[in-house]
Copies of this chain bind each other. A is one copy, B any other.
Amino acid sequence: MSDHPISRFDVPGLDDLPDDIRDTILAVQDKAGFVPNVFLAFARRPAEFRAFFAFHDALMESDDGLSKAERELIVVATSARNQCLYCVVAHGAILRIRTKSPTIADQVATNPAKADLTERQRHIVEFALAVADRSADITDADLDEMRAKGFSDDEIWDIGAITSLFALSNRYANFAGIRPNDEFYSMAR
């Protein structure tokens, strides 16, 4: 177990937290067996904690349109582009679980063009990377192209929205130096 700090900012003790936030943290600990550090790092700012996890759950806990695995694929691909260690390691683990593939997360994080993706997955990743890297250049024609490839407007929105949320999340983790728990590295290998 590492003794490196989990954030560059103070992390409050569980006893100092508002009830709802402590409850959320205890629930995730129950389920995962450990507390992912992002919960502890955000806890110093209850309003941001609540908004962030509300955003997260709205976009990541659904199989409507995009599957949960496809949603994690977007997170890993765009977080790797932003070199966010926390998100690549933590969501890489979740992607391995969701896809039952021990290799896809490392592939997508290292070089999406070389990953073993279906055509649909490839379209999702390419659109997500465009939103991550050069959203200013996206035109009506890009959306029409996604529609022509068979994506619904809600699916396109979801790809853009998940990428946007992790543009936020990656930057928080990077400026605050949020450290991934050691547990994530070896999960579902």
**A106–B91 alpha-carbon span in the complex (Å):** 13
Whole-angstrom distance between the alpha carbons of A70 and B175 in the complex?
A: 19
Residue contact B135 to A113, C-beta cutoff 8 Å: no
Given the complex, which residues of B lie within 8 Å of A171, measured CB to CB? Answer: 131-132, 135, 160, 163-164, 167
**Is A153 at the interface (CB under 8 A from chain B)?**
yes
Is chain A's binding surface mostly helix, strand, loop or mixed? helix
Seen from chain A, the residues whose Cβ lies within 8 Å of a Cβ on chain B are 2, 4, 8-10, 44-45, 47-48, 50-52, 54-55, 57-59, 80, 82-85, 88-89, 102-103, 106-107, 109-111, 113-116, 131-132, 135-140, 143, 153, 156-157, 160-161, 163-165, 167-172, 174-177, 179, 182, 185-186, 189
